[in-house]
Amino acid sequence: MTSERKPSRHPADPSWWLAEALAAEGNPAPAPALSGRLETDVVIVGGGYTGLWTALALKERSPATTVALIEAKLCGSGASGKNGGKVAGYWSSLGGMARAVGDDNALAIARMGTVAQDAIRNFATKPGRDVWWREDGSAAFSASRGQDGELADYIATADRLGVSDSVRLLSVGDVKALCNAPVLRAGVLFSEGATVQPARLARALRQAVLDAGVQIYENTAMTGLDRSSPNRVRTKAGEIIARDVVLATNAALASWPEIHRYVSVFSSFALMTEPAFEALAAHNWHKDLGLTDCRMFIHYFRKTPDGRVLMGSGSGPISLNANANRKALYEDDAAAARAERGLRRLLPAFADVPVAGSWGGPIEVSADRLPFFKTLPGTRVHYACGYSGHGVNPSYIGGQCLASLVLKRNDEWTSLALCTREPPHFPPEPFRYLGGNAIRWGIMTCEEADEAGVTASLSARFCAALPGLLGMKVGTR
Ligand SMILES: Cc1cc2nc3c(=O)[nH]c(=O)nc-3n(C[C@H](O)[C@H](O)[C@H](O)COP(=O)(O)OP(=O)(O)OC[C@H]3O[C@@H](n4cnc5c(N)ncnc54)[C@H](O)[C@@H]3O)c2cc1C
């Protein structure tokens, strides 16, 4: 088989991860759906990492606070149960963060990422929990001539900010010692970085939240919110009266009028191979690293303890009006094929390894690639949005920030720029959709030409140059 083969087709839902996690639990019945009226201090809407970490933080800091959580489907059925399972904070984002929020704020966020990494490790490795936590760091590799230049920025920024030990330049020899593949040229290694079975992590959090005394209602979507004092969350068969509401619905928030201007929605697609220990050995790939190339619309990849490789491509379609329900965000043959082409090109020993499953899902991308944790003005309704495809570690920070906002505490969490800054705006529709598509096409065309060793067309290069000319960011890197 070659890289020209047709993409493998698989049902998009549930992800390979969630199916594996539910099977490991013996496919339990969901928590009961809400029926009737409930009064509680806090209701959390959304049962992914953000909602679950918020619930745990609230019960840890204020045990007497009553907390309920409603989830439209199953806890972990959103991005938290389908991501790449690469867990790292913000050391690899220092350059972009410093430009967006200044050096001191960037360093404060990166240090909180390390606090989050420690807390997630403590949770994930508790005796009796098996969420496949492995921790050998994370690396970015240049996989074409045009990507080589990206690596120097990581080192220069870390040196400039006095945190040189967060990242190390990898020579060609170092790269081959970590993952020996012909197209991988050089790289950088961040000491912070782990991999996890993401759906197992979400399901373990769900259990911990139940154990902490939180009432969870699954198959219970919020159908309306009356912002008042107290607030009223409406569902199909009931309502919840609550002093505080936490909206942890991820990309679904992107179309809210107050949030819309700060985020754009596109999607990320991932595949899981069948086990292939020989292919891993052929690449000399033994360490449990989270890996990416240096494309703007990155490939991200990691291995699993049972010898599989997950390969993802952050190149799914953009959604008009940031609507997170569009079918193309979940099922897009072209994006799924890009993930598969990435696998066969980056890791040629996997050329003939079958794909066990592939899936996609929306990511809400903020204009500065940082999430924001805030309270809707004049209300006690708090929310998290803008993870920009990087949320496994940051959703712990989100949970702590949201708990502080609920408990009205000014602390080390709420003083982060993630809570205090006014995020930059995107242009209004339809310019954002049309412009975003033109730029996405230009960059993807140029990146593919670069990998093929040819020059892209003038029109592609012009579109790819637009963000630089307009001072905008695109892609997920
Ligand atoms: C394919 C893919 C790969 C990714 N890879 C990585 C990675 O390797 N590393 C990384 O750090 N990040 C990655 N991410 C991003 C990361 O998964 C997310 O940022 C993170 O999971 C967000 O968690 P969350 O709890 O905010 O959202 P979610 O997990 O999406 O949870 C939101 C929940 O809200 C529920 N909901 C929505 N609307 C309603 C409603 N009206 N009522 C009730 N419930 C509702 C949904 O069903 C969902 O369960 C990836 C994302 C995708 C899609």
Q: Is residue 397 part of a domain?
A: yes
**CATH number of the CATH domain containing 390:** 3.50.50.60
Yes or no: say if 332 and 317 are a contact pair by the CB < 8 Å rule: yes
| pLDDT confidence of residue 234 | 98
The alpha carbon of 415 and the centre of ligand 1 are apart by a number of angstroms equal to 24
54 & 32 share domain: yes
| pLDDT for the residue 290 | 96
Instruction: Write the CB contacts of 295 (distance below 8 Å, at least 6 apart in sequence).
Output: 143, 147, 447, 475, 477
Counting Cα atoms < 13 Å in the Cβ hemisphere of 253 gives 26
- Specify if 241 maps to a domain: yes
Q: How far is ligand 1, taken at its centre, from the CA of residue 145, in Å?
A: 34
- What is the average pLDDT across 372-381? 98
Residue 235 CA, closest ligand 1 atom number: 42
Q: Would you place residue 467 in the very low, low, confident or very high pLDDT band (cuts 50, 70, 90)?
A: confident
Residue 76 Cα: closest atom of ligand 1: 49
Average pLDDT of the segment spanning 421-436: 91
- How far are the Cα atoms of 49, 225, 244, 382, 420 from residue 403, in angstroms, in the given order? 13, 20, 10, 9, 15
CA 434 to CA 397: how far, in whole Å? Answer: 33
pLDDT at residue number 3: 41
What is the CB neighbour count within 10 angstroms for residue 39? 13
The answer, yes or no, to whether residue 413 has pLDDT greater than 90, is: yes
Q: What is the mean pLDDT of residues 169-177?
A: 95
Q: State yes or no: pLDDT of 182 exceeds 60.
A: yes
Per-residue pLDDT band at 10 (split at 50, 70, 90): low
Whether 433 has a pLDDT exceeding 50, the answer reads: yes
Strand ranges, E, within 391-448: none
Best mutation site among 392, 396, 476 for ligand 1 pocket (most ligand atoms within 8 Å of CB): 392
Mean predicted confidence (pLDDT) in 8-19:
77
Q: Is the pLDDT of residue 8 over 80?
A: no
Q: What angle do CA 173, 174, 178 make, to 5 degrees?
A: 115
User: What pLDDT, on a 0 to 100 scale, did the predictor assign at position 1?
Assistant: 37
Domain boundary among 420, 440, 455: 420
Cα 245 to ligand 1 centroid, rounded to whole Å: 18
Judge whether residue 379 has pLDDT over 90: yes
Task: Give residue 4's pLDDT.
Answer: 44
Report CA dihedral (229, 54, 292, 424) to the nearest 10 degrees: 30
Choosing from 250, 267, 271 the residue with most ligand 1 atoms within 8 A of its CB, the one to mutate for a pocket test is: 250
Q: What is the pLDDT of residues 187-223, one digit of tens each?
A: 999 999 999 999 999 999 999 999 999 999 999 999 9
The domain containing residue 447 runs over which residues?
427-477
Domain match, 431 and 457 both: yes
Which range is least confidently modeled, 251-260, 385-394, 449-458? 449-458
Query: Coil, strand, or helix at residue 359?
Result: strand
Residue 80 CA, ligand 1 centroid: distance in Å: 4
In a domain, 166, yes or no: no
Amino acid at 435: G
Closest to 335 (Cα-Cα) out of 250, 266, 265: 266
**Are 410 and 440 in the same domain?**
no
Q: What is the pLDDT of residue 11?
A: 58
Domains contained in the chain, number: 2
Strand partners, 231: 242
More reliable by pLDDT, 8 or 143: 143
* Ligand 1 atom 53: residue of nearest CA: 361
Write the pLDDT tens digit of every residue in 39-93: 999 999 999 999 999 999 999 999 999 999 999 999 999 999 999 999 999 999 9
pLDDT tens-digit map of 284-317: 999 999 999 999 889 999 999 999 999 999 988 9
Between strands 167-170 and 186-190, the pairing is: antiparallel
Sequence-distant (6+) residues with CB within 8 A of 101 are 109, 368, 370, 417, 421
Spatial separation of the C-alpha atoms in residues 65 and 448, rounded to whole Å: 53
How remote is the CA of residue 230 from the centroid of ligand 1, in Å?
Answer: 27
Give the tokens for residue 56: 């745990």
Instruction: Please check whether residue 470 lies inside any domain of the structure.
Output: yes
The pLDDT score that the predictor gives to residue 471 is 66
Is residue 431 domain-shared with residue 416, that is, in the same domain? no
The proportion of the chain whose per-residue pLDDT surpasses 70, expressed as a percent, equals: 96
Whether residues 416 and 431 fall in one domain: no
12: pLDDT confidence band, cut at 50, 70 and 90?
low
Q: Please report the pLDDT score of residue 446 as a whole number.
A: 86
Global pTM reads 0.95
Mean of the per-residue pLDDT values of the chain: 94
Q: With left for phi above 0 and alpha for psi between -120 and 50, is residue 386 left, alpha or beta?
A: left
At residue 452 the predicted structure's pLDDT band, cuts being 50, 70 and 90, is confident
**DSSP-derived secondary structure for 18-60:** HHHHHHHTT-PPPPPPP-EEEEEEEEEE--SHHHHHHHHHHHH
Which residues surround ligand 1 with Cβ inside 6 Å? 45-51, 70-73, 77-80, 82-86, 221-222, 248-250, 252, 268, 270, 300, 312, 361, 363, 384, 387, 389-393, 395
Binning pLDDT at 50, 70 and 90, where does residue 424 land? Answer: very high
Residues 377 and 410 occupy one common structural domain: yes
Q: What tens digit of pLDDT does each residue of 263-274 get?
A: 999 999 999 999
Residue 203 lies in a domain: yes
Looking at the structure, tell me whether residues 434 and 391 fall in a common domain: no
Distance 48 CA to ligand 1 centre (A): 6
> Atom 18 (ligand 1): residue with closest C-alpha?
391
Please report whether residue 124 resides in a domain: no
330 in a structural domain: no
Query: If pLDDT is split at 50, 70 and 90, which confidence band does 432 have?
Result: confident
Cα 99 to Cα 95, 107, 368, 381, 473: the distances in Å are: 6, 12, 9, 30, 11
Q: Is residue 38 part of a domain?
A: yes
